A and B are shown apart, each in its own frame.
Chain A
Amino acid sequence: MSDTIQGPTAMAANPTSKQPWRHPQDHPLRRFISHNRASLGSLVVLVVMMAIFIAANPTVFTSWTLYASVFTTLPVAIFLTVPLVFIVTVGEIDLSFPATMGFAAWMFALLVQAGFPPIVGLVAAVITGAALGAFVGALVVYLNLSSLIATLGMNFVVRGVILIFTEGKLISLSSLGDTWLYAAFSSDIFGLPVQMLWAIAFTIFAVYLYGRHRFGAHVHIVGDNPDSAAQMGINVKMVRVQSFIFVGVGAALAGVFSTMINFTWWPTAGDGYLLPVLASVFVGGTPTWGGIGTVVGGAIGATTVSFIQTGIVGVGLSGFYVQFFNGLIIILSLVGHRWNQIRYR
């Protein structure tokens, strides 16, 4: 890299070249690949895995039923995974999202049960999720706690509150199926669960927020070098709290969608998502150290993780194999990304 700077002499030496020299990276396709290595890698993992499944059991894996069943619950995982990419990029972690999901969905269920229109419940749930996210974020950021431990604690506290007040009783919402909100958020279009479209829309929104918005830029910079960010006038603490709020909003949406799919709110709603969703973020190609990440990769990671469970059973193995292959695919993708990700210091 010794001759990379063109001094005055270097510029004068080549004054007649009419065709401006084009950098190799200027080629759009080349730049696309180099800027999306991580998510493309995740896509390769998904495609290879699906190819193995299809080869192992073509009848099951060419029928739409299997895909429709995965696409019914996959959106819930996507609403959780995508905001977590932001929190990992900003250099924190949030393990409280399962309880936030349960709590926000609880508000939704209570309001619908009380006879309010579901849209009111949805708005209340999102506000609840944002408020819980703000509280968790403020706890971590302003008391300067380790986000790993503090959010783990908050997960137990919030879940504990739910269990104390409900005494473990579920809320059944059988009337939900007749509402327009259900039709808009949880019905089928030509066999495709409509919530999948919402999850895709949410992912596209998050892609722009992450890569093309001031907030996303600040998330990257704060995760990369908080000292520098603060020196350049970025409110580092606020960016961190806002990232926690975004996780809360995603968790609330996940909770509402999950409740609408099941017509039922369980006090344990969200619990099963903790580890698969965390795995999805990293399977998707976002590194653990902050500063960089990929939203599309996260969504692809969530898809991979969702298909593992169905896939293992689908190829004819017993359910006892699920955990083993779950872990194997997570480790293999991490090894793949490790080779793909360069950490600059």
Chain B
Amino acid sequence: MAERLIELRNIKKSYGSVYALGGVDLHVDKGEVLGLVGDNGAGKSTLIKILAGAVRPTSGDILVRGKPVHGWNAARSREAGIETVFQDRALAVQQSIVRNIFMGNEIANRFGFLDVEKEVAEAQRLMREIGFTSKVFTPHSIVGQLSGGERQGVAIARSIYREADLIILDEPTTALSLTETNKVFHFVRQVRASGRSILFIGHNIHHVYDIADRFVVMDRGRVALQTSKAEMSSAEDLIRFMEQTAHPTPAEAAQGAA
């Protein structure tokens, strides 16, 4: 059996009397891509924030490599190797690729002066590792000159430099063209090949189906379905299931209640 990286057990989160998460069980194994889908308000964002340590769960356990972690917060999340890439505000677009990759973690001597050569060499190594190489730009290129998919590549390279074992990609392909989406998929596969894990959140079920090994469908604060690619013959299966959970027919609703 694959090695468990992160496991959430019966995670609940309530805001006052409103439950954002009503007991979520979820795990990510080493070297897998887990696709997380669900409608708006299903609790995906709350779940990401809990994983990142930005939001404390009301109750429940978080296990890292099988060991329960107490006092879960942003620092513990980083120690556990979790990095979140938010689609909109991840990068400083007027800066070079190098400066973005080492943002907040610059390679410098003890007086704080940067070792630019070392940073460039390291950036090239990271970019090669995720298959993010090009004849058009160098590590000195300005991020603003890159396309949407390539920008995701910079953010992913940065996560790897920050020693991430689990990279959470929050809607990385939203608003991207087909070519750009394929670039992101290419990076994701390279990251998986290196033994790291990815939690891929997306609105486009076809995208998630194409890239993920397993799927978690969330609905109204609960996990409605956990399944693997082997059990789903196509993206349509997944979509049909989601539609049924969101709008059950009277017969199904009665069955669910019973």
Contacts and interface: CB of A to CB of B under 8 A. Distances in A.
Contacts of B138: 23, 25-26
A229 B112 CA distance: 18
Nearest to A2: B179
B141 A25 contact: yes
Contacts of A25: 137-138, 140-141
B91 interface: yes
Place the interface of chain A in its size category: 35 or more
Contacts of B106: 214, 217
A21 interface: yes
A1 B114 contact: no
Given A26-B138, A213-B113, A345-B93, A5 B103 contact: no
B interface SS class? loop
Interface string A29-50: 0010001000000000000000
Nearest to A344: B144
A43 to B, nearest CB: 22
Contacts of A227: 89
A32 to B, nearest CB: 11
Interface in A284-323: 291-292
A221 B90 CA distance: 11
Interface residues of B, number: 42
A231 interface: yes
Given A2-B179, A217-B114, A344-B145, A225 B91 contact: yes
B92 A224 contact: yes
B103 A6 contact: no
A1 B103 contact: no
B85 to A, nearest CB: 10
A221 B103 contact: yes
Contacts of B91: 225, 228
Interface in B116-166: 116, 131-138, 140-147, 149-150, 153, 158
B12 interface: no
Interface in A1-21: 1-2, 4-8, 11, 21
Given A21-B135, A221-B103, A229-B104, A31 B147 contact: no
A232 interface: yes
A227 to B, nearest CB: 4
A56 B89 CA distance: 53
B131 A6 contact: yes
Interface string A62-78: 00000000000000000
B99 A220 contact: yes
B153 to A, nearest CB: 8
B131 A221 contact: no
A232 B94 contact: no
Interface in A203-235: 208, 212-215, 217-218, 220-221, 224-225, 227-229, 231-234
Interface string B65-106: 000000000000000000000100111111100010011111
Contacts of B113: 208, 212-214
A214 B145 contact: no
A344 B144 CA distance: 5
The 5 lowest CB-CB distance pairs between A and B, nearest first, are A344-B144, A232-B104, A224-B92, A291-B94, A225-B92
Interface of B: 86, 89-95, 99, 102-106, 108, 112-114, 116, 131-138, 140-147, 149-150, 153, 158, 179, 183, 186
7 contacts: A213-B113, A217-B99, A218-B104, A224-B94, A225-B89, A229-B104, A344-B94
